Chain A
Amino acid sequence: MASMAQAIRLALHYAEDHLGVTDVLGEDVGLPLGGVFTATQGLKTAWNSPLDERGIIGCAIGLALAGQRPVAEIQFCDYIYNTIDLLKLAGNTCWASNGDWNVPMVVRTPVGSGIRGSIYHSHSFDATMTHIPGWKIVMPSTPLDAYGLLLSACQDRNPVMVLEPKALLRMKGEELIPGEPGDDRVLSKMIDAPLGDRMQWKPQWPDVQAYTVPIGQGKLVRPGTDLTVVSYGRTLPLSVKAAQALESEGISAEVIDLRSLWPYDWEMIRESVKKTGRALYVNEDTEVTNFGEHLVRRTVEELFYELLAPPRLLAGKFLPGIGLADPLEMASVPQLPDVTEAMRALAREQP
């Protein structure tokens, strides 16, 4: 099965050929590197930009205004912060012009911890991004969802932010992308750039097919009855693992992969929490004014009388950065034991 990085590449290839994507731009996205995570290798519209994030986002806005379909990459979300007023601009252009203009652009950026990235390659962006109206925001946790969400993003008439959990970029999926060869080695030979000189190399694209994940639709990953866990990105597979482990303790956890942060699938969360009476939100961005806090607030306000325990948030510590040494990173953002313990505690909590 394709890794998430390969799935992104396949999606962008499909989008170049079928959805009118005109530009995949960013630092090192073109030849020879094809992206620091290899996500843009071999793409015919990929081109290397100056090392200038404001230029990348600004150019993408301009391209979108001129009727093109750009997909911009910010190499690490830690470096997207100096573009925030341009993100705001992309998000308000339709509204500010009273619907006259729209900005059909996609921005992709790797987020989160898990590659020992220290202070400037480990940050999350979901808390900040969900403060910027006018965007749609997605965050896949599987290669197939990455493929399907990107295909949706590339067809949207509005700016879409794709947050790519970098800890999962090299993880292989469990589901085939339609048209993907079943053998990993075959796929790799077809679309992974060779080591050494690759200036003449051309990928052999498999005939991948249309497959979209609608923006705004969550996925019920694991049904359960005792508590609801809502997560996305790196902490989603941890939540699933924890749920599996807790089964032997007689705890049945329902796990929802939110996939879209804005708009998000409140309907799915509501139905689940009404059933279980317990809600745990898990993500790894810093916990103060965290997106999960919004979900906790809404859960309290709308589902208060359905609850058996206070809704909880497990998120990253409110720290200026993630330290490089192993004990520092482990202590800064939720790890498997933290998720398991939070789920166990919530399942057992009694008034």
Chain B
Amino acid sequence: MRGRPTLVKEPLPLDSKLLVRMHELMVEARVLEERLIQMYRQGHGYFWIGGPGEEAFNVPLGLLMKKGQGLDFDYLHGHYRQSGTVLALGEDPIGALRQMKSTATDPYSGGRNFASHFSKREWNIVPISSPIEVQYAMAPGTALAQRRHGGEGITIVTGGDAGTAEGDFATCLVWSSRPGSELPILIVVTHNQWGISTAACTQQGCKIIADRGKAFGIQTRTIDGNDPIASYLELQKAMGYVRKERKPFLLEANVSRLYGHSSASGANFVTAEQDCIVEFEKKLEAHGVLTRAEMDQVRARWSEEIAAKARQVRDEPLPEASTIWKHIYAEDR
């Protein structure tokens, strides 16, 4: 596998600059997640949950989002496997490290919430919460505001396949497709085949989750979320449709879950599932976009950089006990 690759002549359907950028962000996200797991193992965090294995889908999603605050920009109602998206939007990985360490400097929750529970109003990133379904009930609200506002801003909601068993997923389909009041919303399901330890195929009879959208007249598509190129192109199409037509789109992306559900199940690397970075790197190498050495360098650089950030975070103070009383209510402006 490590031998000299044969160069493939046909060009990849995306510009090589973009491919390099996507690779860079996918590696950054993976290295970050692996560092978070290591922090957990070393006692620098109580709990890890995150998204290694979803980078090939999450990075293109972040790159294609219209970043900003307010109705003209995209709202993200994400879930806790979304680090690739947040990094692709331009977030400094140190924020995730701080949240992992529960420091006072944690930019998303001030030391209150688990790892990967991002929140950033400045970029319309709605606070991620641990319930795996509530985002599907909330997202129609921002989408409705955007329907009225017009323009090109859309709402994006993501969740996992197991969470689609909850009623909130049905709520999202119903509220997004009310006749005459269809919403500009991209409904995403990242399908990793698992709900903690329970195999999806033992719980849901529907073979293709995206098919559930068809009953509501919603455009649907099931894609290979382990392929960043396919993900980019399919997301571009789906988001373009939602932006222009102001109608819902249900996108199901088949992805891997490379370190299990969370630290509660050990967070050990799973060899049986496809690793999107390995596959992508094979492709990049075969097409002469990047050499093995260059890609190794990318990983080494991020490993070093994120390790340095983790060292910095290690010495930052925890929140003061008295801060528990802060922000129960928003103060009057």
Residues of A within 8 A of B (CB): 22-23, 49-50, 52, 54-55, 57-68, 70, 85-86, 89, 92-102, 104, 133-134, 136, 157-158
Asked whether, in the complex, the Cβ of B134 is within 8 Å of the Cβ of A52, the reply is: no
Residues of B within 8 A of A97 (CB): 108-109, 119, 121, 127, 327
CA distance A194 to B275 in the complex (A): 66
Asked whether, in the complex, the Cβ of A134 is within 8 Å of the Cβ of B131, the reply is: no
The distance from the CB of B219 to the nearest CB of chain A, in whole angstroms, is 20
Stretch at the interface among B59-67, B138-146, B288-296, B300-308: B138-146
- Partner of A66 from the list B113, B129, B141 (CB cut-off 8 Å) is B141
Asked whether, in the complex, the Cβ of A50 is within 8 Å of the Cβ of B168, the reply is: no
CA distance A37 to B284 in the complex (A): 65
Asked whether, in the complex, the Cβ of B330 is within 8 Å of the Cβ of A157, the reply is: yes
Asked whether, in the complex, the Cβ of A102 is within 8 Å of the Cβ of B171, the reply is: no
Residues of A within 8 A of B70 (CB): 67
B32 contacts chain A at the CB level, 8 A cutoff: no
The distance from the CB of A60 to the nearest CB of chain B, in whole angstroms, is 6
Residues of B within 8 A of A (CB): 70-71, 75, 77, 106, 108-110, 112-113, 117, 119-121, 126-127, 129, 131, 134, 136-146, 155, 167-168, 171, 174-175, 178, 326-333
CA distance A134 to B326 in the complex (A): 11
Residues of B within 8 A of A49 (CB): 175
Asked whether, in the complex, the Cβ of A101 is within 8 Å of the Cβ of B175, the reply is: no
The distance from the CB of A180 to the nearest CB of chain B, in whole angstroms, is 29
- Partner of A100 from the list B77, B120, B145 (CB cut-off 8 Å) is B120
Q: How many Cβ-Cβ contacts under 8 Å join chain A to chain B?
A: 137
Asked whether, in the complex, the Cβ of B145 is within 8 Å of the Cβ of A96, the reply is: no
Residues of A within 8 A of B108 (CB): 97-98, 100
Asked whether, in the complex, the Cβ of B127 is within 8 Å of the Cβ of A101, the reply is: yes
Residues of B within 8 A of A52 (CB): 171, 174-175
If A49-B175, A63-B144 are given as contacts, then 19 extra A-B residue pairs at C-beta distance below 8 Å, sorted by A number, are A50-B174, A52-B171, A52-B174, A54-B137, A55-B137, A58-B137, A59-B137, A62-B140, A64-B141, A86-B137, A94-B327, A95-B327, A96-B112, A96-B119, A96-B129, A97-B109, A97-B119, A98-B108, A98-B110
Q: A50-B174, A93-B127, A97-B127 are in contact. Are A65 and B328 (CB under 8 A)?
A: no
Identify the closest chain B residue to A155 (Cβ): B332
Residues of A within 8 A of B120 (CB): 100
Asked whether, in the complex, the Cβ of B140 is within 8 Å of the Cβ of A58, the reply is: yes
Asked whether, in the complex, the Cβ of A101 is within 8 Å of the Cβ of B328, the reply is: no
Asked whether, in the complex, the Cβ of B134 is within 8 Å of the Cβ of A96, the reply is: no
- Partner of B127 from the list A62, A96, A157 (CB cut-off 8 Å) is A96
Q: A54-B171, A58-B168, A96-B129 are in contact. Are A66 and B142 (CB under 8 A)?
A: yes
Residues of B within 8 A of A62 (CB): 77, 138-145, 155
- Partner of B113 from the list A22, A68, A96, A101 (CB cut-off 8 Å) is A96
Identify the closest chain B residue to A52 (Cβ): B171
Q: A57-B137, A58-B138 are in contact. Are A66 and B145 (CB under 8 A)?
A: yes
Asked whether, in the complex, the Cβ of A65 is within 8 Å of the Cβ of B330, the reply is: no
Q: A96-B129, A97-B108, A99-B327 are in contact. Are A50 and B141 (CB under 8 A)?
A: no
CA distance A346 to B302 in the complex (A): 73
Identify the closest chain A residue to B126 (Cβ): A65
- Partner of B131 from the list A60, A89, A94, A104 (CB cut-off 8 Å) is A89
CA distance A54 to B110 in the complex (A): 29
Residues of A within 8 A of B75 (CB): 65-66
CA distance A337 to B219 in the complex (A): 62
Asked whether, in the complex, the Cβ of B138 is within 8 Å of the Cβ of A61, the reply is: yes
Asked whether, in the complex, the Cβ of A59 is within 8 Å of the Cβ of B140, the reply is: yes
CA distance A104 to B297 in the complex (A): 48
Asked whether, in the complex, the Cβ of B109 is within 8 Å of the Cβ of A98, the reply is: yes
19 contacts between A and B (CB under 8 A): A52-B175, A54-B137, A55-B140, A57-B137, A58-B139, A58-B171, A59-B138, A59-B144, A60-B141, A63-B145, A65-B75, A65-B141, A70-B141, A85-B131, A92-B129, A97-B109, A104-B330, A133-B328, A158-B330
Residues of B within 8 A of A63 (CB): 141-142, 144-145
Q: A61-B138, A62-B142 are in contact. Are A55 and B175 (CB under 8 A)?
A: yes
Interface centre among A86, A99, A157, by most chain B C-beta atoms within 10 angstroms, is A99
Asked whether, in the complex, the Cβ of A134 is within 8 Å of the Cβ of B328, the reply is: yes
CA distance A102 to B330 in the complex (A): 6
Residues of A within 8 A of B141 (CB): 58-66, 68, 70
The distance from the CB of B313 to the nearest CB of chain A, in whole angstroms, is 17
Interface centre among A54, A93, A98, A158, by most chain B C-beta atoms within 10 angstroms, is A98
CA distance A70 to B144 in the complex (A): 11
- Partner of A55 from the list B106, B119, B174 (CB cut-off 8 Å) is B174
Residues of B within 8 A of A98 (CB): 106, 108-110, 112, 326-327
Asked whether, in the complex, the Cβ of A94 is within 8 Å of the Cβ of B145, the reply is: no
- Partner of A101 from the list B119, B168, B331, B333 (CB cut-off 8 Å) is B119
Q: A66-B71, A134-B328 are in contact. Are A55 and B145 (CB under 8 A)?
A: no
Q: A61-B141, A62-B143, A65-B142 are in contact. Are A134 and B329 (CB under 8 A)?
A: yes
- Partner of A89 from the list B129, B326, B327 (CB cut-off 8 Å) is B129
Asked whether, in the complex, the Cβ of B134 is within 8 Å of the Cβ of A101, the reply is: no
CA distance A50 to B141 in the complex (A): 13
CA distance A49 to B144 in the complex (A): 12
CA distance A68 to B77 in the complex (A): 17
CA distance A59 to B146 in the complex (A): 13
Asked whether, in the complex, the Cβ of A86 is within 8 Å of the Cβ of B329, the reply is: no
CA distance A192 to B245 in the complex (A): 39
- Partner of A65 from the list B134, B138, B174 (CB cut-off 8 Å) is B138
Identify the closest chain B residue to A60 (Cβ): B141
Residues of B within 8 A of A22 (CB): 145
The distance from the CB of B75 to the nearest CB of chain A, in whole angstroms, is 7
